[in-house]
Amino acid sequence: MERFRIGFVFVVALCALLSAFSSTWRLILYLSSDCLSHGPVHRQSLTWSKVQWDERVWWPLAVDLGYLALFVLQHSIMACPPVKHLLNGMLGMCQRAVYVICSAATLQIMLNQWQEFPTLPALWSIESSAFQLFCFLLHTVSWLVLLSITLLFDFPELVGMKQMYYQWLGLGEPMTLKSEQARRLYSHVRHPVCLELMLLLW
């Protein structure tokens, strides 16, 4: 029975790790494809005044916002204390890994079902090569900052592997062993991450 339990925990941890890597890599490719290939797409044939009442525009936009809301709701609901406590009671040390797997799944669903707008006019256009270089550097630096934050804040713990390992060794929750300053810093980590994501999406 103990072997089965250890094997199950190992499979869950491996799934969390692979899903985190695959979803993050796909997001990087999706957000960086224009930046790394041919630059921004110029769509000057239409104006916003011509397309703002077109239902072919609003329906895909509503679909995209729905998938975005699904991604945000999954994160928020599974991270709120009552649900987190409930899942912790049901899943134990696998709770964080299951959270990562669910987050990766909703991200994959969003990327698979995302509606493109090839006929819409561009929100903004870059004509200067110097400004294009600046935007490329800003994009690259934003990814590097996100990567450094992930490494700085203990990647094995972020994907739930460390919690399983510590529980297996009888050490308890990894967060309880950190200093008060580290825990306070962890509680604010979402702010720089959100800033970098906003820069990447823009």
Q: pLDDT by residue (tens digit) across 62-114? A: 888 899 899 889 988 988 889 888 988 888 778 888 888 998 999 899 889 88
Say which residue the tokens 């870059």 belong to: 126
Model confidence at 39: pLDDT above 80 = no
Rounded Cα gap, residues 70 and 76, in angstroms: 10
Chain centroid offset of residue 106 CA: 10
pLDDT exceeds cutoff 90 at 144: no
CA distance 198 to 196: 5
The count of other CB atoms within 10 Å of the CB of residue 160 is 24
Of 18-22, 138-142, 169-173, give the range with the top mean pLDDT.
Answer: 18-22
Check whether 194 has a pLDDT greater than 60. Answer: no
Distance CA 56, CA 193 (A): 33
User: Any alpha helices (H) in 37-179, and if so which ranges?
Assistant: 48-51, 55-79, 81-91, 95-113, 129-152, 155-158, 161-169
pLDDT at res. 102: 92
Residue 175 and residue 183 in contact, taking contact as beta carbons nearer than 8 Å: yes
Instruction: Please give the single-letter amino acid code of residue 201.
Output: L
**Stretch 160-187: mean pLDDT, rounded?**
70
Q: Which of 108, 106, 96, 81 is nearest to 9 (CA)?
A: 96
pLDDT in tens, 174-190: 666 666 766 666 666 55
Question: What is the model's pTM?
Answer: 0.73
